[in-house]
């Protein structure tokens, strides 16, 4: 084994340090395995209930009327995540698109959207119009209000109560921290927030941006009162196999609104050919519980490595996990870039290229990204990114297999070690 690691450029010092850290994580990993087992059974039960069959994998083209695979998959999603209906489509191009669709279809001019958990994910600033943008909700006369979390990470219940008014139509709750440094919300905390909000205004739509959170816990947000959960299929639920796609699961009303916006008023869910990729959506969902399990092991391993070496990590090495993202603060651009280079160098695809910071659309500073992925931009595959701004934090996530994740983290550490950016190994 040691020789295999050596062949991949991992020195004895780095490997020994890594193995020592891993040895202490056994109990933690057993807990993760239990969640994965539970979610695996959930997926299988949903597929059996809706009689998934070989016919479901057939391709349709054109309008896609009566696409059995598409319609059955949406029933599987609805059952699995405890919604009344679902929209799961290759025509939803990414997570931002799914979120934009869910928002734009469920509000009307004059309505207000409230985020009670601080600033949303960068790309949503343009969807909402927090940063002026063509086609934003602001251009259509939809206003936005925001209440930040308190400095200790708690909800600002007084502030939220004051912010809810007669125009508040939809509340958007981001489960994962994204590029912020706040803690990620557990499903239970999301539930507390939703009951508080519905206690004040029962008919408000509570939407959860579920990106990166799926299958991390046994429960999902619809089970604690959310009306809609929204996410990307090149993250957790695509299991690394879906080549594109997004999903919305929730109440019949919310999902129908989204379908009429995605296709056309009058057509809704009835059209949308699956173009031969629906099998990867099924198989990806089937794989997702164990893929998320690998990603979580990788994140926890990294937190334990880098916290031990004196870096700031969120979540820290013992905290419970509510999404698959790990933030590591390097404090210097050299540290951030070395980390990303290591992740890239460990990849099965494009391992020989060096990632460079670039001006990525939708982001307001340069971003460095490492991804050697089978699906371009897929962030359920081991990938790292970080905006090139203080305090030089790398956000990383994924790992389709734990063994690849482990190699990636060791390789990142090797890069820092070789450049004298870490000591006390």
Residue 94 is a binding residue for ligand PLP (CB under 6 A): yes
Question: Which tokens go with 295?
Answer: 């990603």
The contact mask relative to ligand PLP for 96-135 (x = CB under 6 A, - = no) is x--x---------------------x-x------------
Residues touching ligand PLP, count (CB under 6 A): 13
Taking CB under 6 A as the criterion, the residue among 209, 227, 307, 341 binding ligand PLP is 209
Among positions 213-242, residues that touch ligand PLP (CB under 6 A) are 232
Residue identified by tokens 């099924």 is: 282
Q: Residue 174: which H helix or E strand, with range? A: strand 168-174
Cβ atoms 425, 321 nearer than 8 A: no
Binding region for ligand PLP (CB under 6 A) out of 39-47, 59-67, 94-102, 278-286: 94-102
The contact mask relative to ligand PLP for 30-69 (x = CB under 6 A, - = no) is ----------------------------------------
> DSSP E strands: which ranges in 17-120?
85-89, 112-115
Question: Min. distance of Cβ 94 from ligand PLP in angstroms?
Answer: 4
Residue 358 β-bridge partners = 367
Residue identified by tokens 């206003």 is: 143
Among positions 242-301, residues that touch ligand PLP (CB under 6 A) are none
Query: 3-class DSSP state for residue 382?
Result: coil
Question: Min. distance of Cβ 123 from ligand PLP in angstroms?
Answer: 5
Binding region for ligand PLP (CB under 6 A) out of 170-178, 180-188, 306-314, 405-413: 170-178
Binding region for ligand PLP (CB under 6 A) out of 182-190, 207-215, 248-256, 257-265: 207-215
CA atoms within 13 A on the CB side of 300: 25
Question: Min. distance of Cβ 234 from ligand PLP in angstroms?
Answer: 6
Residue 79 is a binding residue for ligand PLP (CB under 6 A): no
Question: Min. distance of Cβ 115 from ligand PLP in angstroms?
Answer: 12
Binding region for ligand PLP (CB under 6 A) out of 125-133, 137-145, 171-179, 237-245: 171-179
Residue 393 is a binding residue for ligand PLP (CB under 6 A): no
Is the CB of 212 or the CB of 330 nearer to ligand PLP?
Answer: 212
Residue 271 β-bridge partners = none
Among positions 178-197, residues that touch ligand PLP (CB under 6 A) are 178
Q: DSSP labels for 229-267?
A: EEEETTTGGGTTT-SS-EEEEE-HHHHHHHHHHHS-TTT
Helices of type H across 333-401: 333-345
What strands lie across the sheet with 326-329, from one edge to the other? Answer: 312-314, 326-329, 393-397, 383-387, 367-371
Taking CB under 6 A as the criterion, the residue among 174, 257, 326, 329 binding ligand PLP is 174
Kindly state the DSSP code that residue 358 receives in the 8-state scheme: B
> DSSP E strands: which ranges in 307-410?
312-314, 326-329, 367-371, 383-387, 393-397
End-to-end CA distance of the chain: 20
Q: Which positions touch ligand PLP (CB under 6 A)? A: 94-96, 99, 121, 123, 174, 176, 178, 209, 211-212, 232
């Amino acid at each position: 084994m040691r020789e295999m690691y050596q062949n991949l450029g991992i020195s004895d010092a780095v490997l020994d340090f890594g193995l020592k850290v891993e040895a202490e994580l056994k109990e933690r990993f057993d807990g993760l395995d239990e969640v994965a087992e539970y979610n695996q059974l959930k997926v299988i039960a949903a597929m059996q209930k809706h009689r998934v069959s070989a016919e479901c994998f057939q391709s349709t083209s054109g309008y896609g009327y009566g696409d059995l695979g598409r319609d059955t998959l949406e029933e599987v999603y609805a059952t699995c995540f405890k919604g009344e209906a679902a929209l799961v489509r290759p025509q939803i191009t990414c997570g931002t698109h799914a979120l934009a669709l869910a928002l734009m279809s469920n509000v009307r001019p004059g309505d207000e959207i409230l985020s009670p958990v601080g600033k949303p994910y960068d790309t949503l600033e343009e969807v909402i119009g927090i940063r002026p943008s063509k086609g934003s909700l602001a251009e259509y006369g939809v206003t936005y209000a925001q209440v930040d979390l308190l400095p200790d990470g708690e909800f600002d219940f007084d502030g939220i109560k004051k912010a809810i008014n007669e125009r508040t139509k939809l509340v958007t709750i981001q489960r994962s921290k994204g590029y912020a440094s706040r803690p990620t919300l557990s499903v239970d905390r999301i539930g507390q927030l939703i009951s508080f909000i519905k206690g004040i205004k029962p008919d408000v739509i509570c939407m959860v941006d579920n990106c990166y959170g799926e299958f991390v816990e046994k429960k999902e947000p619809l089970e604690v009162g959310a009306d809609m959960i929204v996410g990307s299929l090149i993250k957790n639920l695509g299991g690394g196999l879906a080549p594109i796609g997004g999903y919305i699961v929730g109440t019949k009303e919310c999902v129908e609104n989204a379908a009429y916006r995605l296709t056309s008023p009058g057509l809704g869910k009835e059209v949308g050919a699956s173009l031969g990729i629906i099998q990867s959506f099924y198989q990806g969902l089937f794989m997702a519980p164990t893929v998320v399990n690998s990603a979580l092991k990788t994140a926890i391993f990294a937190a334990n490595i880098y916290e031990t070496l004196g870096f700031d990590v969120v979540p820290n090495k013992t905290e419970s996990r509510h999404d698959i993202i790990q933030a590591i603060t390097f404090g210097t651009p050299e540290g951030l870039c070395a980390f990303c280079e290591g992740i890239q160098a460990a990849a099965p695809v494009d391992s020989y290229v060096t990632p460079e910071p670039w001006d990525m659309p939708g982001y307001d500073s340069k971003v460095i990204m490492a991804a050697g992925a089978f699906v371009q931009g897929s962030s359920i595959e081991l990938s790292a990114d970080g905006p090139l701004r203080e305090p030089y934090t790398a956000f990383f996530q994924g790992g389709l297999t734990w063994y690849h994740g482990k190699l990636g983290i060791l390789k990142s550490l090797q890069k820092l070690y070789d450049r004298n950016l870490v000591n006390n190994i």
